[in-house]
Structure 1
Amino acid sequence: MEIRPPRTDQVPDSLRVRRYRQAPEQGPRLLFFSGGSALAGVSRKLQRYSHNTVHLVTPFDSGGSSAMLRHAFGMPALGDLRSRLMALADETAPDHSQVCRLFAHRLPMEATPEDLRATLEALARGHHVLVSDLTPALRRPLCRQLDVFREAMPATFELRGACIGNLILAGGYLAGRRQLAPMARQAAELVQARGTVRAVVDHDYHLAATLADGRRVLGQHRITGKEVPPLDTPIARLDLSASGDAHVPVTATLPEESRRLITSADLICYPPGSFYSSVLANLLPAGIGRAIRDNPCPKVFIPNPGHDPEQVGKDLPGLVATLLETLRRDTGEDCPATALLDVILIDSRHGDYAGHLDADFLAELGVTLIDTPLVAARGASHFDDDRLVAALMSLA
């Protein structure tokens, strides 16, 4: 296998970026392992440069609206799929703003169960203001999926705070023989997504973090530091469990479609976001590391420029080492770092990173460090989406 060296001589490359902007339908296949909302802004910008990006997202979310659906139907989480599909939805489509409002709408917390069920029925029948003005070609399938969900919903299902977009996708999942990929394809067609979005695997599994002191934490929502207090001990290892209540070790296998998407990418990105529950979670299935290794395209890691509660006790060299260790579980320890990672993108002037990457560390791995303006003026924890997209497009 011949490794193609990434283009690192000029980042950003204004000529290259401008060329992609002029013909986004022919843009490069940038592939992202991510989850949550960290890449939402970047994804909205990406569609202006490429309609061919690929997003493999985690189905292991165990909090919020996704948790209620998982408990009721024994299914993977849908929230990250919904978020990324809407970020890639065609902004020029006539119904774009209405569809975004519908998918983002949450049922009120203060309403009675009777009122909530009446609202859901009005939505499913097409009588609610959120759906009544949609074109029939869009309204009918969305209402049909809501009706499938409504009919299957357990009598005890908690609708307060439920995200309508998640309920629509759940209906599509239940109607489609409980498979995520066909549901994701159908949803992408409905919202005219400019890119491919898939769950990295189609399993009802949970994250299991083993801490440095030997304790084990089960469930994504207990790892992120958002719904419960953040961890006070570094994570030593991340695995999958068949249960969110007791640790039942399990291995997920990368689907063939996901493998093909990885091996055909023009650039592979380990993007910013929750380091363990969003990025590394996607790298756990068997076959991921080998698929990445077998693609000679550039592989880019973009560390968070600010505080991530999951990174307690980790500096930049530790993050790089953990990323490589996770991938080498699948490839074997003798896999060279350059087959899994080529470039690390940082903004040392404006970002707030723990530790630094010295020349000896980088030389030992054979990895290139690109230090370029990426961070927004409003604070060290936020990337400037335009700058980040321009840097990635320059490397593709």
Structure 2
Amino acid sequence: MIAPPPGYQDVAGPLRIVSLGGGTGLSGLLHGLKEYARRGQVDITAIVTVTDDGGSSGRLRREFDILPPGDIRNCMVALSEDEALLGKLFQYRFSSGKGLKGHSFGNLFLTALTHVTGDFPRAVKVSSEVLAIYGRIYPSTNQNVGLRATMEDNSVIEGETKISKSRKRIRRLELIPNKVRPLRDAIEAIAAADLITMGPGSLYTSVIPNLLVDGIASAIRRAQATKAYFANLMWQPWETMQFSASDHLKAIFSHGGKGTVDRVILNTRPLSGAQRRRYAAEKVFPVEMDSPRIEEMGVQVVGRSLLARSEKVRHDADAIAAVALELAIEARVRRINLRGK
């Protein structure tokens, strides 16, 4: 836990942070923010992509016609009061059993609750109450959606799993169906936010899909909040090979419009030799942190030491949460000052 930066005591009420994404990147940020929420310093809302079609989530989606529960389950566990017990229960994955093998208990729980309540967002709300989470979690849409990618050679690939495994560069991403509605609660949270975050996480399969839901990108652009993108540390195999940080930003602007990001958060701590060698064997290298190009695009760069001390290259959850808190305070103070003029 990192102490709140100077200035927090001058800000009235909990800071409102809305985080968009999916996968382990979003759940890591939420885990880091949880202690601030526990202390009443932060009010957290997570808006989670629902295009996953692989693994347990994909099977449940096809068999029961529900939204994929996996990324939402990870977010609930990250924000839960008791990660040690209930969190482990929700993450428990069956290693055997006909029809059960590969499924996690949390995914099955959300599937059952969806059928009991008749509504996936309602099932998420009830599950969140069971886990006593700090914050709120919303799917980006309540409609069953998939992903379609147009590649550089004009070929078209459908399905998140196939897209992420393709060795072709993505030119454009869209949802299937193309027009899907957001949850009203998610739009209201964006409008009230002090800080809106995107990433870290897979650019094309975790971050951008949220921006393709009707109304979300425009709500972000209209919001008075600071809008921050936590840039990835490494290339995503095939999905973002040879991408620099500014290439990530260009893709976000291409799909969500300029104004969806006004800060890019870059890591300043170098990788260890062992980390570089481990990833170089797979032809995966660090994302180039090309600050001048980002600033030329009218976006401010925030550089911090964000690399976790581990064998794998990962963001440090406490470090990225501390940056989020700092930016939220800055945004709240700015809004208070504007109201006072």
Shorter-chain TM-score above 0.5: yes
1:56 paired with 2:43, answer: no
- After superposition, the Cα gap between the structure-2 partners of 1:364 and 1:312, relative to the gap in structure 1 and judged at 3 Å, is same
1:377 aligns with 2:306: no
- Cα deviation per residue 1:220-241 (whole Å; 9 max; x = unaligned)? 12233xxxxx332211111112
Match of 2:336 in 1: none
Q: Residue 340 of structure 1 aligns with which residue?
A: 260
Give per-residue Cα distances to partners, 1:333-370, cap 9 Å, x unaligned.
Answer: xxxx3x322111112442664444353x3444321111
Q: Secondary structure at the match of 1:314?
A: coil
Task: Provide the aligned length of Structure 1 versus Structure 2.
Answer: 309
Overall identity of the aligned pairs, in %: 25
Question: Does the Cα contact within 8 Å between 1:305 and 1:380 map onto a contact in 2?
Answer: no
Report what 2:140 is aligned to. 200
Aligned equivalent of 2:290, options 357, 367, 375: 357
What TM-score do you get using the length of structure 2 for normalisation? 0.84
Q: How do 1:78-89 residues align onto structure 2 when only pairs under 5 Å count?
A: 78-89=69-80
Q: Tell me, which stretches of 5 or more residues in structure 2 are unaligned?
A: 272-284, 329-341
The 1:358–1:271 alpha-carbon spacing in structure 2 relative to 1, beyond 3 Å, is closer
| 1:231 corresponds to | 166
Report deviation, 1:379.
5.4
Q: Quick one: which of 5, 16, 19 aligns to 1:14?
A: 5
Equivalent positions of 1:187-336 (< 5 A) are 187-224=127-164, 230-242=165-177, 250-309=178-237, 310-328=239-257
Which structure's CA Rg is the greater one?
A: 1
Within 5 Å, which residues of 2 pair with 1:110-189? Answer: 111=97, 113=98, 158-177=99-118, 179-189=119-129
2:322 is matched with 390
**1:198 partner amino acid:** Y
**Normalising by structure 1, what TM-score?**
0.72
Contact kept? 2:142, 2:181, Cα under 8 Å = no
What are structure 1's unaligned runs of at least 5 residues? 1-11, 114-157, 225-229, 243-249, 329-336
- The AA in structure 1 aligned to 2:225 is C
The CA deviation string for residues 163-211 of structure 1, in whole angstroms up to 9 with x for no partner, is 111111111111112x222111111111111011110001111111111
Q: Deviations over 1:20-66 (max 9, x none)?
A: 9xx9x953111111111223233222111125111100111101111
1-side partners of 2:101 and 2:152: how far apart?
38
**Is the 1:234–1:313 Cα contact (8 Å) retained in structure 2?**
no
- Root-mean-square deviation (CA, aligned residues, Å) is 2.4
- Secondary structure at the residue paired with 1:37? helix
The corresponding residue for 1:145 is: none
Measured against aligned partners, the alpha-carbon deviations of 1:293-345 in whole angstroms (never above 9, x if no partner) come to 111111111110113122124322221111011112xxxxxxxx3x3221111
Q: Secondary structure at the match of 1:223?
A: helix
> Using a 3 Å threshold, how does the CA distance of structure 1 residues 97 and 304 change in structure 2: closer, same or farther?
same
Question: Alpha-carbon deviation of 1:67?
Answer: 1.3
What is the CA-CA distance between 1:108 and the residue it aligns to?
A: 2.5
Asked if the contact 2:138/2:183 (under 8 Å) is kept, the reply is: no
Is 1:107 matched with 2:86? no
Inter-CA distance 365–167: structure 2 relative to 1 (3 Å threshold): same
C-alpha change, 1:377 and 1:161, in structure 2 (3 Å) is closer
Residue 40 to residue 354, structure 1, CA distance change in 2 (3 Å): closer
Alignment of 1:66-85 (within 5 A): 66-85=57-76
Which amino acid in the other structure matches residue 357 of structure 1?
Answer: D
Structure 2 match to 1:45: 32
Matched, 1:367 2:299: yes
What SS does structure 1 have at the residue aligned with 2:102? coil
